[in-house]
Structures are given as structure tokens and as C-alpha cells.
Structure 1
């Protein structure tokens, strides 16, 4: 298998590769941002649709800041003030969302052209390096992202990293899902494996509290319409604290994260992960008029994210799960997406 043309980034040709088979689950991946650009999934009648938002070529991704399908890091999500203290030393990061640091900064992992390390019909491995001081982060980081389809047509994403000095790492996949393939996601159903979430302030920074979801708009313990109850007109952009323990699942130790269903088509997806949290975001800030792959505009609430992660602002919140990585340790973040038809 070889890369197919996908366009240019800063004068450099980048390609894309398709994993899987026509008529079944297929994934398309590009080295630009180690990014998932397409994910074709059959409905209960076997009709496939692309269930992730994206653009037709590399130029579309270069022109936007929506992180569609990207691998984000070194620290995805938000860090207050773009700063934290590590071993008594103040670390100042790039501030790219007001005074905050978001998704690794203006030149985060989503803006890198990753190296193709390995490729087959059902798997692709991409590698990159982040030098010491990159966007302000200490330590040189060596990273790897692998996408693959197993024999049951589950999509797996493994993000790994090693450092030569103490640092913080929180890599995520930032795909926007739409289980119908188009239209608003507000009528689609979601269940989250979480009894608590982390409230945020007006800048979307966690307050430090871990609050129960029971009796609130944040309660997705049972499958329900995404738009049935919203905390505001802006929908959701919050971290849920995943409740379940790691358990043996498909040869790995994973915890349940989410179930998403489009009742009309019958597409159903379960997400499992190694991480303690998930950022569920309903895409309120997706700018109307962004060109989608099929020519239809990408608009607010046409996709939702399930970014499994360490909690936002963890480097400033010792009560949250640690994102610290030491030399000699290996960061490994695993996601599994399992597709089975919903009952008709």
C-alpha cells in the first residue's frame, strides 16, 4: 500500500492512506497532524457513511483551527495562564487562546507533518519529535501514533511518547463524530461512563471541583438525546471523570467511555480507553461556512468530540490525575472504537 496525494503543507507534499475494505469500516489517515480524515461505518442495512468531520484535502486543514481529526499535544485541552510549576521551576507555554494554552499551542502536534514509519492494508504508524522548549515545554519528546483496524473492524488509536527530561504529556485524538454522517448531532443519543464531571469557569478552565452529574444536564449515565438538556446555548465543552475500572477488553486493559447511537440509521459506536477522563464537546464554535468534504458547510453542532484524556489544567491541579512523564517511562494512551448496529 502507498500514500495517495492529499495536497501541500508549507510547500511539502503530504499524502493520505486508506485502511480497511470497501463496504466495511474504512479509515483514512494523513501524516499532517497524524490526523483521521475519514471514518466510513455501515448502518444496520449495510450502507456506509463517513462519520467524522473534515476537509477534502490538506489545504482545508491548514486554513482552519478546528483541530478536525488531529492528534493534539503536547498537552491537549486547556492550561490556565499557559503556565505551571514543575519541580519548583515556572514553565511558561505558548498562549494561543487569550491568556490560556490550548491543545499544545499555535504550533502543536496538529500542525506537524509526521513521518510514516510503517504501513499495511489495515495499520499505519506515524512518528515525530518535539524538541526541548517546543511551545515552552521542557524535555525532548519522541512520539508515535498508530491507527489500525482489528479482525472485528474495530478502530484502534495508540498514542505513545518518551521524554529525556521531566515534562507533562496529554495527547488526544480530536475527531468530531456525527453518527448519521450529516446534519445536527443534537438528536443523536449518547451515554457516558461517568458519574462526575469537572465544572469550569467563564474561560472554560476547571474550577478544581469534581461534581456529581446526578440531577443535572451533565447526566449521561443512561442513553439520551444530546440536545434534550443543555447547560447553556453553547452546549457542552466539559471533562467527564470516567468511573469504571480498567478491565480486560479485546486483549488490553480498558475502561468504558461512551456509547453513541443514531437511531434512524442504526449506527452505534462504543468508545473504550486507558484514560481517566473524556472531553465531550458539541461543536458550538465550529464556524459556519467551513467547507466539508462533500461541499456541505461544517456548522455548529454538526459534530461532537470524545477526547479521552487527562483532565484539563491537571499540571495546576494536584488533586487531578497526574500528566507528568519521567525519563525512562512510556506514555501510552489507547482508544478503541467498536461498531455494532443498534436495534431497529
Structure 2
């Protein structure tokens, strides 16, 4: 999920970020892992603990890289559009209204006072904070801790960055097994602080293949999507929650019955903001989705299906409404672009901006003795 007015990345900002990177090796080192049976191969870089490539096989047994990204991983730092390609996002994912919250949490906390915190705003002309601030975890160098043939573990110390209270120490482990990608995070805090993470993966299950028949492979609107959620969080024009939790029934957000993403595309105007056509919304799962997939996505063209199980209570689905960066060579090269709606981000996370909506009764404040955990499994299969 990406705000359409995300902070432009100037040369001066790049210099500041470079100064923040102190760990060695340089954060764009590439680590490759593969499932023992060769069914899944992934590549990661330390910068943002980001997944740079993900190879899975289509119905004919041909492997495709099903995520967008960069041939040169250093562009994760330099790209002014900053679409947040496949990184771990924190300390607090999604939006924070006015970049402000309080502990204990309150609705519309005062501009100043005890327990009130201000995080740099970077979205919608400074009206909210997106994905942890200007230098969120996706723009930090994580330290490579260990790796095996099928897994890699990174560590990040968030030393009260961006104005959040206390320090947070986080470990993430990415692993692959037969037909699966699994990512888990464990984080501890030195004092009371909000923590809400996500893995910001964009999917194109066709590997951005060139159209060789009558299939429309230019976007993901013909993909079949299932979201096991009968409720969603109402938001304003900036994507910030307004408080109500609404029913999906009778709206374009109803994917309880699997259907194409574009099935009600004409009705999806203004759903993701004024004049925006597509989705950038947060669904609340109906039940625990740790064993039953909360989201399923499939493409009839490649025959690839991904079923996603997670311990997260919600999911943000963003249809890449403002994509526009050059493609990797395997996807046709930099003369082509990842166009709007050519990939869909599916972000397992908590209730967005719950730290400013106490009436929900959602506790996202962590402290010594109460650790944060996040776990998601992506299971791949094919169909005729």
C-alpha cells in the first residue's frame, strides 16, 4: 500500500539515508535460498530485509519471478517513487493520522502533552505518516545474522528512530520449503511503544510474461481473489481510518466469494481515494487465518495460485494504483515499466492506525515482557 504523494527522494535525502547506514557489509548484498526440491527460489538483500526475487513454477513447470523489483538493489534506496517493493515494513506499517499518537492511546490526541508522540509525516502533503516514517524499516540496513541453503535471518535495532519511544530489536527469518515461502518476525521493546509490521509483497503470478495469445497479461485485474473477511475499515480520502468498521456486503470490497479483481472495477472508482480507481483498503479477517488461508490469489494464464495464511488479524490489498518504475531484465527490461495495476500488494498486518482508535479495543502497544510476533506462509500450487 503506497500513498500517491509519497515523499520525493531528493539527492539531499539520499545523502541523509546513506549516513544512517553504518552496518557492514553494504546493505545491497544478495542472499539466495532454495527449497530442497527446487520448487521455490528466493533472493534477499539486507536493506529492508527485502525480497528481491521469487521464483515459482507455472502449470508447465517453467519457473517465473513473480515479484517486481530492481536488477540493481541499490535502487531500493534511490528510487524517488519508492513503491516499497517486498520489504519488511515498520516500526508501524500503514498510516498514522497526523503522524501523532499517545500512550495510553486516545482518539485525536493533543498537539502536545505527556505521552504524546509525533512521527515525521511523509504522505498526502504531510497529513499522515506512512510505513513508519521517512526512514522506516524498509529503508534501514538490517544485519545478516545467519543463512542456510533454504533460510536467511536478519536483525534490525530500531534505536528510537523517527520519534517512536524506546528501542525495538527485531529478527526476521525468511525460509523456503516444498512449494512454500515462510516469513516470521520476533521483536522486543525496551519500553511501551506501538509495533505493527507487514511484508509488502507485490504479486504478478504471470511473471510479467509477454502476451502470446488472447490473454490479457498487462494487469492483474483478471486474477481471481478471495479475501476471508466480511468487514473492512472505513477510511477518509487519505486512507486514514475514520472509526467505523463496515460490512463488505453490497460493496466492491466483497471478495468472500472468489472472483476477479476487476469484476466490479467500474464500481471501484473513489474506493482508494478521490479519483482513484482500484483498491487500497484494509479488510478484517473473520477468523484466525493461521490454518485456513485468509487470502488466495490465482492466475488462469500461468496456472499459479498462492494461498496465504497468517497470524495477522487484517490484510491490506493494494492494486498498485500508482506503480510506474522500470522493470527488471527478466520482466522485459528497463524500457518497459511496472504500470499501474500490473501487480497487487497483499500486506498481512494489524488493524490500521488502531493506536488512534481506542474504541476498537485493539492493543498494539508492546513493552518488556510483551513481545511482538508476526508469521505468514505463502503456499504455491498450480491448476490446469
1:309 & 1:180 partners in 2: Cα distance? 25
**Partner of residue 44 from structure 2, selected from 17, 29, 44:** 29
Q: Is the 8 A contact 1:310 1:322 kept in 2?
A: no
The Cα shift of 1:260 comes to 0.3
Per the alignment, residue 292 of structure 1 pairs with 328
Give 1:176's match in structure 2, choosing from 197, 202, 205.
202
Q: Which runs of 4+ in 1 moved over 2 A?
A: 9-14, 288-294, 319-322
- Mapped pair 1:79 → 2:96: yes
Cα distance between partner residues in 2 of 1:169 and 1:293? 36
For 1:158, the equivalent position in structure 2 comes to 184
Of the candidates 266, 276, 285, which is equivalent to residue 242 of structure 1?
Answer: 285
Going from structure 1 to structure 2, the CA distance change for 1:154 and 1:319 (only over 3 Å counts) comes to farther
RMSD: 1.7
Contact 1:23 1:48 in 2 (8 A): no
Partners of 2:182 and 2:376 within 8 A in 1: yes
The Cα shift of 1:283 comes to: 0.6
The structural deviation recorded for 1:96 is: 1.0
* Structure 2 segments unaligned to the other structure (5+ residues): 1-16, 105-113, 209-217, 270-275
2:138 paired residue number: 110
SS at match of 1:197: strand
Q: Is the 8 A contact 2:47 2:138 kept in 1?
A: yes
CA distance in structure 1 between the aligned counterparts of 2:260 and 2:280, rounded to whole angstroms = 16
Q: Compared with structure 1, are the counterparts of its residues 289 and 165 closer, same or farther at alpha carbon in structure 2 (3 Å cutoff)?
A: closer
What's the offset of the Cα at 1:246?
5.2
Give 1 or 2: higher strand fraction: 1
2:69 maps to which of 51, 54, 60: 54
Q: Does 1:43 align with 2:58?
A: yes
**Quick one: distance in 2 between partners of 1:315 and 1:39?**
33
Q: Distance in 2 between matches of 1:59 and 1:85?
A: 35
Which residue in 2 is equivalent to 1:314? 354
Q: Mean alpha-carbon deviation: is it higher for 321-330 or for 263-272?
A: 321-330
Q: How far apart are 1:20 and its partner, in Å?
A: 0.6
Q: 1:269 maps to what in 2?
A: 306
Unaligned runs of 5+ in 1: 1-8, 250-254
**Distance in 2 of aligned mates of 1:13 and 1:103:** 20
Question: Which one of 157, 163, 170 corresponds to residue 136 of structure 1?
Answer: 163
Report how many aligned residue pairs link the two structures.
Answer: 326
Of 208, 233, 237 in structure 2, the residue corresponding to residue 198 of structure 1 is: 233
Return the offset for 1:13.
Answer: 5.6
The yes-or-no answer on 1:325 pairing with 2:384 is no
Kindly indicate whether residue 27 of structure 2 is the aligned counterpart of residue 16 of structure 1: no
TM score, norm. by length of structure 2: 0.81
CA distance in 2, matches of 1:58, 1:308: 24
Structure 2 counterpart SS, 1:58: coil
Matched residues in 2 for 1:236 and 1:173: separation?
Answer: 18
2:28 counterpart SS class: strand
Q: 1-side partners of 2:264 and 2:206: how far apart?
A: 20
